[in-house]
Every structure is written in structure tokens, then in C-alpha cells.
Structure 1
Amino acid sequence: MSQPPLNRVLLLLKTEGPQPTAALAAALGITGEAARQQLGRLAQEGAVESVAEPVVGRGRPRQRWHLTAAGHAHFPDGHAALATSLLSTLVVRLGPVALETVIAAREAETLARYENEMTDAPDLDDRVRRLAAIRTAEGYMADSWREADGSWTLVENHCPICAAASACAGFCRSELETFRAVLGAQVERVDHIPQGARRCAYRITAD
């Protein structure tokens, strides 16, 4: 079953970033007028907003459509409020050492599960693509590709545990270490959602 048009607009803005109306219309295979109508409805709901971006030199600023916080909220958040509350309670009641214990246990479990799913991925290219598929299944809307310089890029367009990660940087640190271990490669985080980026992105190079 195809997605409703409004959901397709949100998904496109989520995965591709801010877009002008014409680009959205072309990607969705609809007219510019139809795209404007859908964007207008989403704007009334508070899910998107049009932002003027300056151009170099002369010319009028370009209008691009962005997801708002309400727009991002259309995507899974991993029960953000509950997760944040539980983390806060854990630290208050048991101290930061207990939180580090939880993070370490989660990292060990995740690493074992990822390694089990990588048993038939013999080289780094296969492992990167497999990791992107695993993360997508977990709600991260991930993608990967090979760069011209031989490195790989892994992106995650959504973070279903963003509230927990924002409350405790240890989760993000743990995920980075898990990626390095399961890929057997150098992994550098170059974009980070909790720091205000649109997505999390990683540069991967062979050891």
C-alpha cells in the first residue's frame, strides 16, 4: 500500500533535508500546484515551514521547506519522555556509575547481535551495507554509500532514541564504539543530531 501524500512529503524532507517546492514536486511526481497545496496544509498543522536562504551574489533568496519540531515528531521517538525520565531517576537513585553499567550492558548486547548478523558479510563494503540495513530496521532510516576517495559514508536520518541520547552522551559514545568494533574499521562521526544537525553521519575508512 502506498503512503498518503502528506506522509511522503514529510519522509522526503526527513531523508533529503530542506527542499524547494519544485524539487519536492519533481520527487513526488506531482504538479507544483499540488505540492504547494500539500505544503500549505502541513504548514497549517505546524509540521513544516518555509525558510528563505540567501544566495551568493545577486538574486532573490531561495525558499526551502524544512521540517519543524512538530514535523520531526511524526517519526518514532522511542518513547522519549519515558526514556528521559527513567535515565534521570536512575542517576538520582543509583548514581552515574549505575548508568554507565546500563550503557555498557546495552553496548555488549548490541555488539553481539550485530556481529551475529554480520557472519556472512566478508568484507568492509558488505559490513557497511549490512549495518545500514540493520539500523534502518531499528528505526534509524539509515543509508550508506562508497565515496570517490575509497571511504564509506553511513547516514542516519532519524534517531529513535534522540531524547535518551541528548540526556546522556554515553549512549552516542557507545554506539560509535559499537560501529568501530563490528565493522573493524575507523569510524568518525561528522554530523550529530543531538548537536543540532539534521542527521547523524559517519565517515568510515579501513584500518
Structure 2
Amino acid sequence: MKMTLPDNERALMLLKTKGPQPLVSLAKDLNVSTEGARFQLIKLSNDGLVETHTESKGKGRPQQVWSLTQLGHARFPDTHAELTVRLIRKMQDTLGEAALLEVIEANGKDGQQKYLHKLNGVRDLEGRVSGLAKIRDEEGYMADYSKDEEGYLLVENHCPICAAATACLGFCRSELETFQTVLGDGVSVERVEHIVKGGRRCAYRIKQQ
């Protein structure tokens, strides 16, 4: 996913996708000196977008570690957040929780069909995980995946519907069901990190059973 951020805010993207980072690592990724990186971060800190704390590891000198604040996370779009939450609340009040969940389920099935269509003909698990990550990235979830000895880890560094998901966890349940359906029988999908529950990202452990 490509975000249109000013050059002096590239650090925001790095902290969003990689999580809290020491100053030295940020300077390297930004291709600037540590002083140059510190200057950018102090400016972002003055704007309330990042914050810092000191970590001590082993016998070395303490490290200055930077992370996004809540305001910093908010710089990444939550699609039509205010309107969506109002509509969810109104539906709950007028039609009831059961009706809301029924609508979410129907919407989830539409999403499943769209994903299945896009992945039609992809048979191997890695191909389907890779394809799913690409689709989600295009939808604004800043998604990627990696492979390790346990299987695959699908990571979403951003949730563009976070306000809606916070208002009704049915969206998150539907999402998990969609992943399970799209990846097919004989595959387990477990959410191991969750933005709505305070995680930095949403992450899914995917294994061939």
C-alpha cells in the first residue's frame, strides 16, 4: 500500500510497518545521520505523532526507542470512520444486534466470493497466502506475509475499518471466517495479534494441517 506522506514524515511509515524502533535503526532506514533522524523525530514529537522511551538491553548503553502515538496511528486512514460508526449504532438501535450481525455475515460472504474469484486457479497454499496478502494490501491493510518453520504469518499493519471493528467485533469474526474459507480445507488460521485488542498490528498464523 502506498501512502502519500511528506518526505519529512517517512519515519511514520517505518514505525507503522515495523513497530517501535531505536534511533539508529530509523536513521539507517531513512538513509540519514542519527542527528538527521533525531531532528525529524523531534519535529514529529512536537506535533504529537511520535514518542520515545529508553530501553536497556544487556551491558550496552541504553537505547532511545521511538513509537507512534495514538495521534500518529490516526494519520493512517480509517475509511469513513465516523459515518460508519454512526450507521452501526443506528442499526443496532433500530434493528437489533442480530440484524446487524446478519448484514455483516452477508457482506463477509460477498468478500469471500470476491477473493475466491481473484485466487481462482491458485492451488498451492503459499500462492493463496501471497495472493490474499496482495488483495488485502490493495484494500489498505498494509499487508504482507512471511514463511517460517511453522508455516506462514500474514501481517496487516493497518486496519482501515478499525473504528467499525471496534464498534462491532462481528467484522473481525467475519474477516477470520473469510480467510479460512479462501485458504481452503485442511488449513488452520489463527489470529495471534489484534489491533482492536491493543496490538500494534493484526497477524494470522496459517498452517497446513
TM range (shorter): over 0.9
Whole-angstrom distance in 1 between the partners of 2:28 and 2:161 = 32
What 5-or-longer segments of structure 1 have no aligned partner? none
Whole-angstrom distance in 2 between the partners of 1:131 and 1:181 = 11
1:169 aligns with 2:169: yes
Whole-angstrom distance in 1 between the partners of 2:113 and 2:198 = 30
Map Cα deviations across residues 79-111 of structure 1 (whole Å, 9 max, x no partner). Answer: 211111110110001101110111111111100
Deviation (angstroms), 1:4: 3.1
Mapped contact 2:157–2:201 kept (Cα < 8 A):
yes
Whole-angstrom distance in 1 between the partners of 2:156 and 2:174 = 16
Whole-angstrom distance in 2 between the partners of 1:175 and 1:128 = 14
Identity of aligned residues (%): 51
Deviation (angstroms), 1:60: 5.2
Report the 3-state secondary structure (helix = DSSP H, G, I; strand = E; otherwise coil) of the residue aligned with 2:140.
coil
1:95 paired residue number: 96
Deviation (angstroms), 1:62: 2.6
Whole-angstrom distance in 1 between the partners of 2:38 and 2:7 = 12
1:191 paired residue number: 193
Q: Residue 32 of structure 1 is aligned with which of 34, 42, 48?
A: 34
Equivalent pairs counted in the alignment come to 205
Deviation (angstroms), 1:137: 0.3
Whole-angstrom distance in 2 between the partners of 1:129 and 1:40 = 37
1:119 paired residue number: 120
2:156 paired residue number: 156
1:46 paired residue number: 48
Whole-angstrom distance in 1 between the partners of 2:53 and 2:104 = 38
Whole-angstrom distance in 1 between the partners of 2:29 and 2:11 = 9
1:180 paired residue number: 180
Mapped contact 2:9–2:44 kept (Cα < 8 A):
no
Q: Which amino acid aligns with 1:20?
A: P
1:20 paired residue number: 22
Deviates more, 1:91-100 or 1:47-56: 47-56
Give the structure-1-normalised TM-score: 0.94
Deviates more, 1:10-19 or 1:96-105: 96-105
Report the 3-state secondary structure (helix = DSSP H, G, I; strand = E; otherwise coil) of the residue aligned with 1:25.
helix
1:78 paired residue number: 79
Give the structure-2-normalised TM-score: 0.93
Deviation (angstroms), 1:5: 2.3
